[in-house]
Amino acid sequence: MSMSKYGFSALGRSFTAALRGFCHCVKTQRNMRIHLVAAFHVLALSGFYRFSKAEYGLLLITCALVMGCEAVNTAVEVLADGFCPRRDPTAGLAKDIAAGAVLVCAFFAAVVGVLLFWNLAAFGRMAGFFARYPWALLVPAATLTAGLVWAMGAPGNSIKKRKL
């Protein structure tokens, strides 16, 4: 009984730590906020599509992969800046490689996006919906503007502010 109590508290602590790490990425990384805004709008747009469960799964895995990779990239930047506060070729190369991993994921996420969302029938449904309810265009306009202001306006990469 006490074992499970300690097991659960350890699990709770590691979950809290993971959440703290993710919140740190959102607060300090502009790119992570851009990924979140993009994921929100892509999922909202998917309402016009008749995706199967497998297609939704692919969409969610793609979003998770890009954001997970961005979090690992941030971890590499934090480690490199923490252990090599001065310019160092190894730290620089590690950062380049981590950024390259994000780039690969983002490129293939864009390919998955085109494969899933390029659908003339869905474009027709969207056009029909917004022709019937033109005021509804205000919703994506407002959420996109608010999302971009949040993503770009909040403090950028705190790591960048360190003097190298």
Ligand X SMILES: Nc1ncnc2c1ncn2[C@@H]1O[C@H](COP(=O)(O)OP(=O)(O)OP(=O)(O)O)[C@@H](O)[C@H]1O
Site for ligand X in 45-74 (CB under 6 A): 73
Burial class of residue 69, CB neighbours in 10 A (0-12, 13-18, 19+): buried
| CB closer to ligand X out of 98 and 116 | 98
Residue type at 153? G
Site for ligand X in 101-120 (CB under 6 A): 102
DSSP 87: -
Stretch that binds ligand X, among 40-48, 95-103, 105-113, 120-128 (CB under 6 A): 95-103
Residue 146: CB minimum distance to ligand X, A = 23
Mention every residue, 6+ apart, whose C-beta is less than 8 A from residue 55: 49, 116
Active site residues per annotation:
70
| Measured distance CA(98)–CA(72) in Å, rounded | 7
**Cα Rg, the chain, nearest whole Å:** 20
Residue 81: CB minimum distance to ligand X, A = 6
List contacts with ligand X (CB under 6 A).
29, 31, 73, 77, 80, 84, 87-88, 91-92, 95-96, 99, 102, 157, 159-160, 164
